Amino acid sequence: MTEQKERELYFWLRLIREFEDRISALDKQGKIMGGVYSGKGQEAVVVGVCHDLRPDDWIFPLHRDLGAFLVKGADPNRLMAQIFGRRDGFSKGKDSFLHGGDFSRCIFGATSMLGSTLPVAVGTAYKFKIKREDRVAIAFFGEGASSRGDVHEAMNFAGIYKLPVVFLCENNFYAYSTPNELQFAVEDVADRAVGYGFKGEVCSGNDLHSVMKAARKAIDRARGGEGPTFLECKTYRYHGHSEHDRATYRSEEELITWESRDPIERWEVYLGKRKYDIAAIREEVGRRVKKIVEDAVAFAEASPVPEGPEAMEDLYATPITEG
């Protein structure tokens, strides 16, 4: 890996962290309506997968994957406006947080029925296959969503047709409050892949190297016509399910253990081992990401609040007006 690439990855990790922290702070100040689902602690997963994608590959992020938007090239200003519910957001204020994707960057907006995007990703991958397009689809989901029928139906179909799709499971051990032992009876949910006729892999979601290596293999497999991969990244969210959730269902010790595996600190240790001046890099990148996020907040705050009647727009591509 080149030094430039290593620094770029560090920049993404830090930008996401800065963005997440700012949103959490704004939420506490009452400046953001609606739910905020922090992905703090899980940054290495989205960076490790998305940095390797091409502009015309599609991603189907879930509610906690704000970072995937950024790495895939979404404009931070518009992303912040989206979170603020403003007219310049991808939804133009019509829905909150990550429910509005950015089609110009091949980013799909999820629904709250987690796992529901997997069949959609599979349909997209089917099109890539029959049109002989060298593109892949990345379907993000949590270990909680893995219990839904949508996930099963999507994986089963993708296996039959060996579709160019990566099923990227962010296993952060809790679906809201429900721990894994109440979600499934296996240690690694990726074990299910064998039942669909494709490879299942497990990696450390807090270790950028581990994610990058596994993601590269899965993406290469998809591009090479070898079919899907169920890639499970074990990770942890520092915050609750959403900002209003104090996550009393888990122990302080557990959180501390995971904080000691922080993906950004780990990458800094690695950069240090490479004999870079980590203190200087940290400061320089810190300045850059702070500026980007500050600008994004300023943009979002200046973006118009939609008018009430705009709620009636964008329902239909070809509206039929009443005679």
Partner 1 sequence: MPVTYIQAINQAMHEEMARDENVMLLGEDVGILGGAFKATEGLLERFSSERVVDTPISETLIVGAGVGLAIQGMRPVLEMQFIDFISCGFDQIVNMAATLRYRHGGQTACPIVVRGPCGAGVHGGLYHSQNPEAWFFHVPGLKVVAPATAYDAKGLLKAAIRDDDPVIYLEHKFLYRRIKEDLPQEEYVVPIGKAALRKEGRDVTVITYGSPVHAVMKAARDMASEVDIEVIDLRTLLPYDWKTIRESVTKTGKALIIHEARLTGGIGGEIAARIAEDLFEDLDGPVMRLASKDTHNAFAGPMEEYILPNQEKVTEAIRKLAAY
Q: Which residues bind partner 1 (CB under 8 A)?
A: 89-95, 99-104, 108-109, 111-113, 116, 118-128, 130, 137, 149-150, 153-154, 156-157, 160, 313-318, 320, 322-323
Closest approach of partner 1 to the CB of residue 148, in Å:
9
Closest approach of partner 1 to the CB of residue 78, in Å:
10
Separation CA 79–CA 311 (nearest Å): 20
Closest approach of partner 1 to the CB of residue 243, in Å:
21
Separation CA 226–CA 218 (nearest Å): 9
C-beta of 19 vs 128, nearer to partner 1: 128
Residue 267's nearest CA partner among 50, 9, 52 is 9
C-beta of 116 vs 206, nearer to partner 1: 116
C-beta of 167 vs 267, nearer to partner 1: 167
C-beta of 61 vs 109, nearer to partner 1: 109
Closest approach of partner 1 to the CB of residue 316, in Å:
5
Closest approach of partner 1 to the CB of residue 156, in Å:
6
Query: What is 60-87 written as a DSSP string?
Result: E--TT-HHHHHHTT--HHHHHHHHHT-T
C-beta of 12 vs 157, nearer to partner 1: 157
Closest approach of partner 1 to the CB of residue 300, in Å:
15
Residue whose pair of structure tokens reads 């990855």 in the numeric block: 9
The answer to whether the CB of 59 falls within 8 A of the CB of 72 is yes
Contacts of 315 (CB under 8 A, 6+ apart): none
C-beta of 156 vs 251, nearer to partner 1: 156
C-beta of 29 vs 318, nearer to partner 1: 318
Give how far Cα 208 sits from Cα of 45, 50, 84, 89, 264, Å. Answer: 7, 12, 30, 30, 9
The answer to whether the CB of 245 falls within 8 A of the CB of 182 is no
DSSP at 143: T
C-beta of 77 vs 204, nearer to partner 1: 77
**Amino acid letter at 214?**
A
Give how far Cα 273 sits from Cα of 28, 113, 130, 142, 276, Å. Answer: 37, 43, 46, 33, 7
Paired with 137 in beta bridges are: 58, 165
Closest approach of partner 1 to the CB of residue 82, in Å:
9
Paired with 141 in beta bridges are: 169
Closest approach of partner 1 to the CB of residue 113, in Å:
6
